[in-house]
Amino acid sequence: MNKISENNRLREKYPTFEVPSSLYNVIHVNRCSSMRELQLLIKHVQECTNFTIDTENEKSNGKLALIQIQSIPQQLPISIILVELAHLPSDNDKYNLIRELFMLIFRPDNKLYSWGDAARELQPAASYDLFMWPILATIINVQLHFPNWYMWARTRCESCSLSIHDEDNDTDNVNTQDICHQPSPYKPGEAWALQKAMVYAAQLFIDKSYTCSHWAAGLTSKNSTLSETRRNTMIHYALYDCFSTTYLVKPIFQQWTFDKLKNTSTTELFTSFEPLPVPTKITPPTQKNRIKNLNVQKLMKIFGCDESDLESVSDDDGDEIYLNQVIGPVNNNELAGEVKQLVAGGEDYELVAGGEDYELADEVNTEEVLATQDVQDINDDQQIESNEPAQYQRKSSYQRRSRSAKMRHNRKHARQQKKHRFDHQIRRKFYHRFKSFMIRRILRLYQIPFVHMKKDQDDVVVGLRNEDIRRQADHDLATTIFHRRSFYYYKNKYQW
């Protein structure tokens, strides 16, 4: 069955998921937004720490065109923000307000819920200079957590639980038509479509017929080439992808039964999220999670600045609010641990101590994570040959060996490593003005745990430890990352 007829079949079979329009305000962020609108929006998102996020790509070129962000506030109405990347204002003041908006939404300690890999979807927007990359807020891919919750919830559903036993035994006489919650139509590990998830868990229909649309054509009357009817249907679609994701967050992370979900109002589902624990089994702490353990204020404390210094490290383009928002209680033990880690990182300590640039602090975040990772790697395979400083204090047999034995070991190991260091590689074309240190710095910025890097004619070749890491790096690093445009962006950013 093709997608359209499947969509129609579901539309006929299930009631449509509706959120009363009194519960939300739609705010378009584009060149028609007024300063007043943007200021009010900033005020609103300052009070929120949880958001749902989604994106849409333009049909004609596949490029990221729309970012939808739904706030999950303490009190209704919620705001649903539609950022039209192809129609951003050229006006500096407005652009700065939009930047401020993103800084607030993406600030560390915020949670961003999404259906799918939002970080990957958002990466192309990093070049708009609206937010720092990588994003410091925690991005939680609800899609990954859905299957386990769904399986569990079926065991708690009275009529379903009876039939689960039969399904497990593969008996032929199971009539799944009578079951209120069908067994998963997916293989283990396969990703659930949001539409399917809503149908299976809540017996509600969401329309998916506008997934592929001209999202860059403009959604408000002043900037659009689309008819009003068309625009309204597209907006509706864009909102409901966010709404549906939000709808499933509490049930999944607070382990609700289907009955509880059914008997809970949308109002409750859409407001006042307490910090929800994320099951660690499904998402082990990643580099990105660890990065958040070190925030700006902690850095300030580490380097003996007080709050009045915060302003002096921010640049002049409206980051002050962001920096103030970062402040949270600091635990001294935690801090001591971080100082140790920072010192272990060597050169980075000086970098921040002398630095006046907030961006540098961000960079240290990344470095710190990489340093931790490296210590781990060294312990894993005694690897020394690497681009990273190797001055970590290890209490291993390796250290107690004689100097010549160590050198022998190093040479032998280095030879072996050299032979294999590009076994797992990715290649990116580079603009000739990129120097090696710049490339390394960008690789670290993107948290690519590279073993080695070299230039090969027009290509940067990045060696990685294994195939899994290679695949992840290939995914994380845009193909245009070292192109000319990127060179000028980073040159400007880091004052090279």
Interface contacts to Zn ion, rule CB under 5 A? 157, 160, 180-181
Q: Say which residue the tokens 């625009």 belong to.
A: 231
Least CB distance to Zn ion at residue 202 (A) = 11
Cβ contact 63:121 at 8 Å? no
Q: Is 285 helix (H, G, I), strand (E, B) or coil?
A: coil
Of the pair 181, 428, the CB lying nearest Zn ion is at: 181
Least CB distance to Zn ion at residue 162 (A) = 10
Q: Say which residue the tokens 């790096």 belong to.
A: 473
| Angle at the Cα of 362 from the Cα atoms of 361 and 364, rounded to 5 degrees | 65
Of the pair 210, 256, the CB lying nearest Zn ion is at: 256
Least CB distance to Zn ion at residue 367 (A) = 50
Least CB distance to Zn ion at residue 158 (A) = 7
Cβ contact 180:156 at 8 Å? no
Of the pair 119, 179, the CB lying nearest Zn ion is at: 179
Of the pair 200, 273, the CB lying nearest Zn ion is at: 200
Of the pair 35, 180, the CB lying nearest Zn ion is at: 180
Of the pair 74, 161, the CB lying nearest Zn ion is at: 161
Cβ contact 415:421 at 8 Å? no
SS3 letters for 174-221?
CCHHHCCCCCCCCCCCCCCCHHHHHHHHHCCECCCCCCCECHHHCCCH
- H/E element holding 68? strand 64-71
Least CB distance to Zn ion at residue 10 (A) = 18
Nearest in space to 204 (alpha carbons), one of 135, 163, 251, 161: 251
Of the pair 180, 336, the CB lying nearest Zn ion is at: 180
Least CB distance to Zn ion at residue 180 (A) = 4
> What DSSP line would sit under 98-110, residue for residue?
HHHHHHHHT-TT-
Least CB distance to Zn ion at residue 88 (A) = 46
Dist. CA 30–CA 83, nearest whole Å: 6
